Amino acid sequence: MSKPRSLPEVRRRGIIGHAVLAGADEIETVDGIRISSRSRTWLDMARRLSESELVCMGDQLIRVPRVEFENRTEPFDTLEGLRSLVARHPNLQGVVRARAALERMRVGADSAPESLLRLAVEDAGLPEPQLQLPLRDSDTFAPTADLGYRQRRLAIQYDGGHHLLEAQIFSDKRRDKAFEAAGWTVVVFGRNDLADGFERAIREIKRAMRRSQLDHPQASGFADAV
C-alpha cells in the first residue's frame, strides 16, 4: 500500500507500506479505490523487474490495441509519455533500469513472448526486425508476420496457446502459405522455444538468413550478423 509522504506511516498487520511522490495523472480510481495508473505501476515495478521484463510490460502499454478484441482505439501510453513520467522521478529506485528499458521498447509486440523473441534476436547480434510486418505494404488486409525482414523475405511467427484452437490453426496455415507463395521463408516458434530462451529459434533464424543471403545478395546489413 502506497501513500503520499505527507500522510502518517501505514501500520497494519499483513500490509507493507510505501511512501511515494505521485502526480494527479499517475493515480486512477476504480470502484472507489485509488490505485496507481498502469504507467506508474510500470515505473514502480522497475525496482523489482529485470530490464527484459520491463520491456515486455512497457511494450503492452504502448502497443496499438486491436479494436475487435479490446473495445479501445488508443494505447494506454506512448513512449513519449513514459519518458516524461520517468523524467519526473529521477531519484526513484529502479529509474536507471526503466530508462534502459525505454530504449528497447517498440510498438508492435502483441504479447510478452513476442517481445522476448525480439530481444533475443537483437542480443544475438542480428539486425532489429520489423514488427507486425505485412506481406504487402499497400494492403491493409494482407497477412502479417509478428516479426520479420522484408529485404530477406523472412517472416517470423510466435504462436502462443490460442493458436492451438482449430479455427486459429486454419488461419495460421493460410497466413503462412500466403507468405510462402510470395517467395518468403516462414519460421514459426512456440512455448517450447520460449522455455529455452529462444536458443533454437535464433539458430533457425540465422540459418534462414544465410539461405536468404544466397538468394538475395543485393540486400545489405545482414551478412556480418549471420
Residue 201 has pLDDT above 60, yes or no: yes
Predicted pLDDT at 13: 87
The ranges assigned to domains in the chain are: 2-104, 112-225
Grid cell at residue 194 = 520460449
Q: What is residue 216's three-state secondary structure? A: coil
Residue 38: pLDDT band with limits 50, 70, 90 = very high
pLDDT in tens, 164-194: 566 677 888 999 999 999 999 999 999 999 9
Proportion of the chain above pLDDT 90, given as a percent = 71
Per residue in 117-159, pLDDT (tens digit) is 999 999 999 999 999 999 998 888 889 999 999 999 999 999 8
**pLDDT (0 to 100) of residue 58:** 98
Full-model pTM = 0.87
- Beta-carbon contacts of residue 155 (< 8 Å; ≥ 6 apart): 133, 135, 145, 148, 176, 179, 184, 185, 186, 187
Decide: 43 and 89 in contact? Cβ < 8 Å.
yes
Task: State pLDDT tens for residues 58-94.
Answer: 999 999 998 888 889 999 999 999 999 999 999 999 9
DSSP annotation of 173 reads H
List residues bridging with 154 in a β-sheet. 149, 185
And the C-alpha cell for 5? 509522504
Whether residue 209 has pLDDT greater than 60 = yes
Type of residue numbered 175: R
pLDDT for position 10: 80
Residue range 112-225 in CATH 3.40.960.10: yes
Q: What is the mean pLDDT of residues 18-44?
A: 92
